[in-house]
């Protein structure tokens, strides 16, 4: 079964964000970064508030709370902006770009950006039914989301998902069945 859809740089950023959010290593780096920034904010607040020690400690605690609340969102925004720039450079513009995905006994055949690749079923570690479409996670190939707009009808989407799951017997399957 073969489907075709257009995608944009924003779609690529969203997929990259989803893929990296699954990584324990990247989550650890993000947590460490937040802790370091909280420590820096606390130290600055403690050293710059001209008050008795109790108030300086209060200022340091407030700085930790504010930094812990705001820093992750600010970093997410900056990260997405940098990813957009990187993808724009990599793909040569905003898009849209065409992606064609064919599923068969050998695996997922993916054509996009002038390249064609095969992800064998044994490399697919999960197939998820997500709001944006059908997400295939492969090792080491990364993440592929077949967007809902690739399907003419919900029945076509359901058949594509059923067929993919029938081939990928070793994959972790999640989402509505």
The answer to whether 94 touches 88, Cβ cutoff 8 Å, is yes
- CATH number for the domain harbouring residue 124: 2.30.29
pLDDT at 177: 42
pLDDT at 172: 58
The average pLDDT across 62-84 equals 95
Query: pLDDT above 70 covers what percent of the chain?
Result: 95
pTM: 0.74
Q: What is the mean pLDDT of the chain?
A: 91
Confidence tier at 18 by pLDDT (50, 70, 90): confident
Full residue range of the structural domain in which residue 35 is found: 10-91
Same domain, 152 and 113: yes
Same domain, 118 and 148: yes
Q: Distance (Å, rounded) from C-alpha 63 to C-alpha 84?
A: 31
CA 130 to chain centre: 12
Last residue of a domain, one of 55, 76, 91: 91
Same domain, 16 and 84: yes
- Cα–Cα nearest to 126, from 78, 168, 162: 168
- Cα–Cα nearest to 14, from 130, 102, 101: 130
Residue 176 has pLDDT above 70, yes or no: no
């Amino acid at each position: 079964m073969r489907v075709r859809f257009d995608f944009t740089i924003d779609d690529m950023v969203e997929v990259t964000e989803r893929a990296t959010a699954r990584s324990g290593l990247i989550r650890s780096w993000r947590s460490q970064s937040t802790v370091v920034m909280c420590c820096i904010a606390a130290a600055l607040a403690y050293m710059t508030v001209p008050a008795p020690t109790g108030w300086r400690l209060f200022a340091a605690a407030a700085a930790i709370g504010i930094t812990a609340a705001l820093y992750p969102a600010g970093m997410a925004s900056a990260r997405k902006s940098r990813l957009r720039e990187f993808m724009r450079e990599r793909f040569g513009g905003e898009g849209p770009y065409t992606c064609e995905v064919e599923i068969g006994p050998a695996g997922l055949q993916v054509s996009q950006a002038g390249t064609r690749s095969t992800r064998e079923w044994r490399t697919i570690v999960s197939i998820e039914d997500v709001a944006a479409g059908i997400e295939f996670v492969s090792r080491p190939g990364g993440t592929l989301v077949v967007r809902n707009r690739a399907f003419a009808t919900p029945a076509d989407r359901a058949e594509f998902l059923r067929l993919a799951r029938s081939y990928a017997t070793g994959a972790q399957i999640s989402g509505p069945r």
